[in-house]
Amino acid sequence: MSATRRQLLGRTGALGASIASIAFTGSVSELFAGTAAAAEPDPQPLGQGGYGPLVPDPDGLLDLPEGFRYRVLSREGDELRSGEGKVPSHCDGMAAFPGRSGGRHGRTHLVRNHENRNDAAIRVPAVNGLTYDPMGLGGCTALELDSGNRVLSERVAIAGTAVNCAGGPTPWHTWLTCEETEDRAGTNGYTKDHGFIFEVDPYDPRRTGAVPLTAMGRFQHEAIAVDPRNGVVYETEDAFEKPFGLFYRFRPKKPLGGIGSLRAGGELQALRVPGVPDLSTIQEPGTTFDHVEWVDVPDPLARQTPIRFQDFGPGGITHAQKLEGCYWGGSSVYFVSSFAKSADGSAADHFGQIWRYDPDRRRLTLVIVFGPETDVQLPGESPDNITLAPSGGLMVCEDGNGAQHVFGVTRRGEVYPMARGAQNIGTAEEPEWGEFAGVTFAPDRRTMYVNCYTPGTTFAVTGPWRH
């Protein structure tokens, strides 16, 4: 019987994570193929300890390496600067955008998701013209920061949505926020169907309003990535029960058309790997499938049947558990399966997979596998939100049990702790820490922004970043 993740942690003593390390199978360098990071000279090695050990925060919020500091930008329950209400609960996915021209150099705009279900403590305030369903408690808030990361404005960007988990930026500098639910009108008091993607303008949210992009599908969305060459949008589905989610592509009628262009509709398709109904069964990094297929989704609105249950013909369709992070690099899209558990219904077990799809070759490749056969020393349950770091590596948000971290991964495969949550939301006898989410960097790469999910807190982290 395979060791559980917690058994592995017990053997390695990694829960303290003074220095995090991770042994996995696969090539980290593959994650940067064709990216700007790969084209740059190899940065100065960070060393086994990364930026060094984490220093306990005397204020009990965020532990960082020596020389780094944080600023709390926004905290759940505080008043929004706009006066529209309080900062909502459950800060999740996030992206940073450059300030517009016209004297706004050095400014940064953040769009932040709030993954609120119908029991959230603090809803996203319903604002006229920005609210989809008055009974939906989720949405996004937008912050404008000056060059010193001081908050200039903070306001509602969209409201009345539900379970806004992740999403992704577009080439025209908007945010696509994703609902991780497929609840219908009449469920949980909702007045409209949910499970859609919405476009949010970080500079002027009223330009985008609260319009569901229905052609992009109604399902338990997680994240998106846009092919900047042709505007194709790739989408992950984090379905909670078997059959698990699918990997999609959306081919818009108005590709790269700018704000509002996705409303024109398009074609939604799902990935089929012939002979592979469940990606969890693929355990050998480097495994490649050429000429994978894209199958039209029979009913993107899921009027009667959720998409993952629909009939895709005699070849069926390919599923995967916990499809989460998604980003574009070079000429390929990368997506994450955070874990798979046979106890949940997956065909095999792993603690994380990262896949690469090359649309020019119609080629799918398994890049990295985390456990259970590998000696995983990364605390928690799974890798979640991922972003490129200034050093050319990755920053990975941990989503699991126990202490919660943001980990860095160098291009050489070294893993090091970058941040640790210090806010105990449990008890002294049974401590608990909120997960990290939404890690992203300012356009000048000098500030890392990251959210603590509970209590909802947005941090700006500055220090001696290696570029």
* Max Cα-Cα span within the chain: 63
Cis amide linkage into residue 372, ω under 30° from 0: yes
Average pLDDT of the chain is 88
pLDDT of residue 96: 97
Helix (H) or strand (E) holding 333, with range, is: strand 332-337
Q: In what order do the strands lie in the sheet with 197-200?
A: 164-169, 175-179, 197-200
Beta strands in 146-192 (DSSP E): 151-161, 164-169, 175-179
- pLDDT of 71-127, one tens digit each? 999 999 999 999 999 999 999 999 999 997 544 568 999 999 999 999 999 999 999
Report the candidate in 379, 382, 401, 370 with the shortest Cα–Cα distance to residue 324.
382
Q: What is the pLDDT of residues 261-275, one digit of tens each?
A: 999 999 999 999 999
pLDDT band at residue 15 under the 50/70/90 scheme: very low
Of the listed ranges 12-26, 140-154, 206-220, 423-437, the least confidently predicted one is 12-26
| Amino acid 30: pLDDT | 75
The CATH number of 5-462 is: 2.120.10.30
CA count, 13 A, side-chain hemisphere, 118: 13
5 pLDDT more than 50: no
Q: How many CB atoms lie within 10 A of CB 438?
A: 26
Q: Which residue has the higher pLDDT, 19 or 318?
A: 318
Mean pLDDT, residues 362-379: 67
The number of beta carbons lying within 10 Å of the beta carbon of residue 359 is 17
Angle at 175 between CA 171 and CA 178, to 5 degrees: 125
Higher pLDDT, 372 or 209: 209
Q: Does pLDDT of 374 surpass 70?
A: no
Which letter does DSSP use for residue 38 in this model?
H
Does residue 46 or residue 125 have the better pLDDT?
125
Q: Is 230 exposed, middle or buried (0-12, 13-18, 19+ CB in 10 A)?
A: exposed
Asked whether residue 232 carries a pLDDT value surpassing 80, the answer given is yes
Lowest mean pLDDT among 63-77, 189-203, 317-331: 317-331
**Which whole number is the average pLDDT over 19-45?**
56
| Residues 90/116, Cβ–Cβ less than 8 Å | yes
Q: What is the pLDDT of residue 368?
A: 84
Judge whether 376 and 22 are in contact, CB under 8 Å. Answer: yes
Across the range 290-312, mean pLDDT stands at 97
- Collapse the DSSP code of 408 into the 3-class scheme (helix H, G, I; strand E, B; otherwise coil) and give the result: strand
At residue 466 the predicted structure's pLDDT band, cuts being 50, 70 and 90, is confident
- Domain residue spans of the chain: 5-462
Comparison of pLDDT for 51 and 5, the residue scoring more: 51
Tokens of 372: 């259970």
Structural tokens at position 127: 């604002």
Q: How far apart are CA 417 and CA 107, in angstroms?
A: 28
User: What six digits make up the tokens of 176?
Assistant: 């696509």
Nearest Cα residue to 388 out of 459, 461, 443? 443
Helix, strand, or coil here: 215? helix
Q: With a cut of 50, say whether residue 445 has pLDDT above it.
A: yes
Most confidently modeled range among 209-213, 374-378, 415-419 = 209-213
CB 461 within 8 A of CB 387: no
Residue 124's nearest CA partner among 111, 137, 107, 142 is 137
pTM of the model: 0.91
Burial class (CB in 10 A: 0-12, 13-18, 19+), 423: middle
User: Which H/E stretch holds residue 363?
Assistant: strand 363-369
CA distance 246 to 240: 12
| pLDDT value of position 382 | 54
pLDDT for the residue numbered 32:
65
Alpha carbon dihedral 411, 386, 371, 419, in 10-degree steps, equals 80
Structure tokens given for 430: 């049974």
Residue 400, pLDDT score: 66
Nearest to 334 by CA among 32, 97, 92: 32
Indicate whether 327 pLDDT > 80: yes
Please give the pLDDT value at position 1: 25
**Whether residue 325 has pLDDT greater than 80:** yes
At 156-201, the pLDDT tens digits run 999 999 999 999 999 999 999 999 999 999 999 999 999 999 999 9
Amino acid identity for residue 58 in this structure: P
Cα–Cα dist 385/223, whole Å: 9
Residue 10, pLDDT above cutoff 50:
no
Task: Give the DSSP H/E element, type plus range, for residue 12.
Answer: helix 5-12
Write the pLDDT tens digit of every residue in 394-416: 888 876 667 888 988 887 777 78
Q: Is the pLDDT of residue 39 over 80?
A: no
